[in-house]
C-alpha cells in the first residue's frame, strides 16, 4: 500500500489540477465539466477498489498469522441467539470483551492524539495554500496527505507488531489446562484410581466366589483359623509349583472349610501361611517362590497323613509350623507399623 501511495497521489494531483483548470474551451463546451466529473469518479472508484483489496489481503494475512488458515462457514452462519439483547448485554462485559475494548480505546486515543498534533503542525501551511498557485497548492497538499497517511500506517504497523504476538500468547495461555483440569483428564482417560481399585476388588471377590467349585479338587486347606481359607493343589505332572485354586475371607472362608470337610480334604491351621497366601497368591496361579519351602512342608505332612489313613505308615505328629517371611504376612506389617508409630 505504501508503494502504491506515490502513484495514487500523483494521479490525484493530476486530476485535481485538471478539474481546477478553467479555460475558454471549458466555458464554451458545457459537457467538459461532466466529462471531468466522470473521470474523477472513475479514478475514485478504482482507488477505493484497490484500497479495499489491499485491506482485505492484509486482514487475511493477519488472520493466518495469528491463528492459521481455517475454512469454516460458521462465522457467516445465521445465529439468532446473538440478537438476543439479554445474552448480548452479558457478552459485552466478559473479560475478553473488556480487554478488546481497552485495546481499541488505546489505539484510537493514540491515533487521535497523533492526528491532532500533525494537523496543528500543518494548520498554518494549509491556511496559506489559498495564496499559492493551484499546482503548488495541490502538490503541497498531496505531500502533506502522503506524510500523514504514512504516519498513520506506521502507527498501525507498530500496533500490529505488538498485538499479533500478544494475541498468540493470550490464546495459548487460554488454551492451557490448569492442574485440576490435567488431573481430571487423566482420570477420564486412565480411569479414576479409586474406582479402578474398587473394580479390581470386585473382580477378585467374584473370582473367589466362582472358585468355590474348585475346592473338592484341593489337596488341603489352610486356615487362619476363622478369617482366611486357602485351598492348595499340586500335581507334579501338570504343575510347576503348587497353586491356589480357591481362597476366601470370613463367610467365604467358612464355606470353603465346610466343602472341604464334606469331601474329606484335610483342613490345617497355619495362620501366618494362610494370611501370606491369601494376600500374595492369585487364584489358578503358582504360589510365590518365597513360600515354596513353607508350602512344601505342609504338603509333605498331608502326604504322610494320607498314607497313614490308607494304612501305609504311622500317623504323623502335629502339623508343621513353617517359616513365613514377615514381609509377606499382612498382620506382621500392621504390627510393625503400629509399633513404629507408638515408639
- pLDDT averages per 10-residue partition of the chain, 343 residues: 60 65 64 72 77 76 63 67 62 71 84 86 76 72 78 81 78 75 69 64 61 87 87 90 89 89 91 91 90 92 89 86 88 56 49
* Among 282, 273, 279, residue whose Cα is nearest residue 249: 279
* Phi-psi domain of 286 (left: phi exceeds 0; alpha: psi -120 through 50; beta: other): beta
pLDDT of residue 75: 63
Check if the beta carbon of residue 257 is closer than 8 Å to that of residue 221: yes
Check if the beta carbon of residue 225 is closer than 8 Å to that of residue 271: yes
| Residue 13 CB partners (closer than 8 Å, separation 6+) | 138, 139, 142
Check if the beta carbon of residue 254 is closer than 8 Å to that of residue 225: no
CA dist 258 and 267 (Å) reads 10
Query: What are phi and psi for residue 244, nearest 5 degrees?
Result: -90, 115
- The predicted model scores a pTM of 0.42
Q: Where are the beta strands (DSSP E) in the chain?
A: 220-223, 228-233, 243-249, 267-269, 285-286
Q: State the number of CA atoms in the 13 A half-sphere of 51 facing the CB.
A: 12
* Phi-psi domain of 94 (left: phi exceeds 0; alpha: psi -120 through 50; beta: other): beta
> What is the spatial order of strands in the sheet that 220-223 belongs to?
267-269, 220-223, 228-233, 243-249, 285-286
Check if the beta carbon of residue 258 is closer than 8 Å to that of residue 282: no
* Among 164, 161, 170, residue whose Cα is nearest residue 68: 164
> What is the grid cell recorded at 100?
478488546
Q: Can you state the angle between helices 271-280 and 330-342, rounded to 10 degrees? A: 100
Q: Which domains does the chain have, with CATH numbers?
A: 5-67+85-175 (no CATH), 194-342 (3.40.1690.10)
CA dist 143 and 186 (Å) reads 64
Helix (H, G, I), strand (E, B) or coil at 208: helix
Cα 247 → chain centroid: 43
Helix (H, G, I), strand (E, B) or coil at 12: helix
CA dist 176 and 168 (Å) reads 12
Amino acid at each position: 500500500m505504501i508503494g502504491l501511495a506515490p502513484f495514487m497521489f500523483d494521479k490525484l494531483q493530476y486530476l485535481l489540477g485538471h478539474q481546477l483548470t478553467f479555460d475558454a474551451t471549458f466555458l464554451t463546451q458545457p459537457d467538459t465539466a461532466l466529462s471531468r466529473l466522470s473521470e474523477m469518479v472513475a479514478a475514485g472508484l478504482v482507488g477505493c477498489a484497490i484500497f479495499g483489496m489491499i485491506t482485505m489481503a492484509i486482514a487475511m494475512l493477519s488472520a493466518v498469522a495469528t491463528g492459521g488458515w481455517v475454512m469454516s462457514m460458521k462465522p457467516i452462519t445465521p445465529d439468532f441467539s446473538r440478537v438476543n439483547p439479554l445474552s448480548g448485554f452479558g457478552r459485552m462485559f466478559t473479560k475478553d470483551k473488556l480487554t478488546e475494548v481497552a485495546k481499541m480505546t488505546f489505539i484510537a486515543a493514540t491515533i487521535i492524539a497523533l492526528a491532532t498534533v500533525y494537523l496543528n503542525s500543518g494548520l498554518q501551511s494549509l491556511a496559506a495554500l489559498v495564496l499559492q498557485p493551484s499546482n503548488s497548492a495541490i502538490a503541497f497538499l498531496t505531500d502533506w496527505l502522503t506524510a500523514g497517511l504514512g504516519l498513520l500506517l506506521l502507527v498501525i504497523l507498530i500496533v500490529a507488531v505488538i498485538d499479533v504476538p500478544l494475541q498468540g500468547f493470550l490464546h495459548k495461555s487460554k488454551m492451557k489446562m490448569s492442574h485440576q483440569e490435567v488431573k481430571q483428564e487423566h482420570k477420564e482417560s486412565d480411569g479414576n484410581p479409586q474406582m479402578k481399585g474398587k473394580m479390581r476388588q470386585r473382580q477378585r471377590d467374584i473370582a473367589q466366589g466362582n472358585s468355590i467349585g474348585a475346592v473338592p479338587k484341593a489337596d488341603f486347606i489352610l486356615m487362619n483359623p476363622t478369617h482366611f481359607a486357602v485351598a492348595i493343589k499340586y500335581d507334579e505332572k501338570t504343575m510347576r509349583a503348587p497353586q491356589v485354586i480357591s481362597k476366601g475371607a470370613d463367610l467365604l472362608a467358612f464355606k470353603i472349610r465346610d466343602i472341604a470337610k464334606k469331601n474329606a480334604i484335610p483342613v490345617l491351621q497355619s495362620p501366618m501361611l494362610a494370611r501370606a497366601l491369601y494376600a500374595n497368591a492369585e487364584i489358578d496361579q503358582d504360589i510365590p517362590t518365597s513360600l515354596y519351602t513353607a508350602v512344601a512342608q505342609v504338603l509333605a505332612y498331608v502326604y504322610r497323613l494320607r498314607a497313614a489313613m490308607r494304612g501305609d505308615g504311622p500317623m504323623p505328629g502335629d502339623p508343621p509350623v513353617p517359616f513365613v517371611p514377615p514381609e509377606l504376612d499382612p498382620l506382621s506389617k500392621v504390627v510393625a507399623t503400629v509399633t513404629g508409630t507408638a515408639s
